[in-house]
Amino acid sequence: MTTKHQLLQICNERIDKRINDYKEEINLIKESIESNDKGDSEDDDSGNGKLLNDLEKNMGYLNDAQQAKAFLKQIKLNVSTTYAALGSIVKTKQMNFFLSTSIGKIELGNEVYYAISLSSPIGQLLKNKSKKDSFEFNQTKYVITNII
């Protein structure tokens, strides 16, 4: 299995975990709302208001995670380019990036990769760059040593 395949698999696993965690949280919140509704009707409804806010937040997070999952499906690992694009591994002297979705740090073997979105600030700087191109982010200059 290539490094790209392994990175994509890890990204998918982490997104799947997020999706499952949000679904579990949503179910817990729904159960809490239902049990509050069965309680004394004279109780203050402020508890349900907070639960409804939490439900709405978690549904938004779930939607974002599902969109990230759909975005990962667009990555074509068999396509090779000489420039940074979706699915590329971009190596610099300082760090390695996997252009996919915002997952963060991934340790694979003895190397560290950062799975980032093309729409992130650093992803925007990397987009369409080629080997030996440079860019600056957070007052650090990066030179691209390889694109896989």
Q: State whether 96 and 47 are in the same domain.
A: no
Q: pTM (2 decimals)?
A: 0.87
**What is the 3-class SS of 53-103, one letter each residue?**
HHHHHHHHHHHHHHHHHHHHCCCCCCCCCCECCCCCEEEECCCEEEEECCC
Calculate mean pLDDT across residues 101-111: 95
Q: State whether 64 and 114 are in the same domain.
A: no
Domain hosting residue 140, numbered range: 89-147
User: What's the rounded Cα separation, in Å, for the pair 9 and 110?
Assistant: 17
Q: State whether 96 and 143 are in the same domain.
A: yes
pLDDT, greater one: 46 or 3:
3
**Which tokens go with 55?**
């439900």
User: What's the rounded Cα separation, in Å, for the pair 86 and 79?
Assistant: 10
Q: State whether 68 and 7 are in the same domain.
A: yes
Question: Residue 46 above 90 pLDDT?
Answer: no
| pLDDT (0 to 100) of residue 129 | 96
The enclosing H or E element of 106 equals: strand 104-108
Count the domains in the chain. Answer: 2
Q: State whether 35 and 68 are in the same domain.
A: yes
| pLDDT (0 to 100) of residue 1 | 84
Q: State whether 10 and 51 are in the same domain.
A: yes
Contact 84, 128 (CB under 8 A): yes
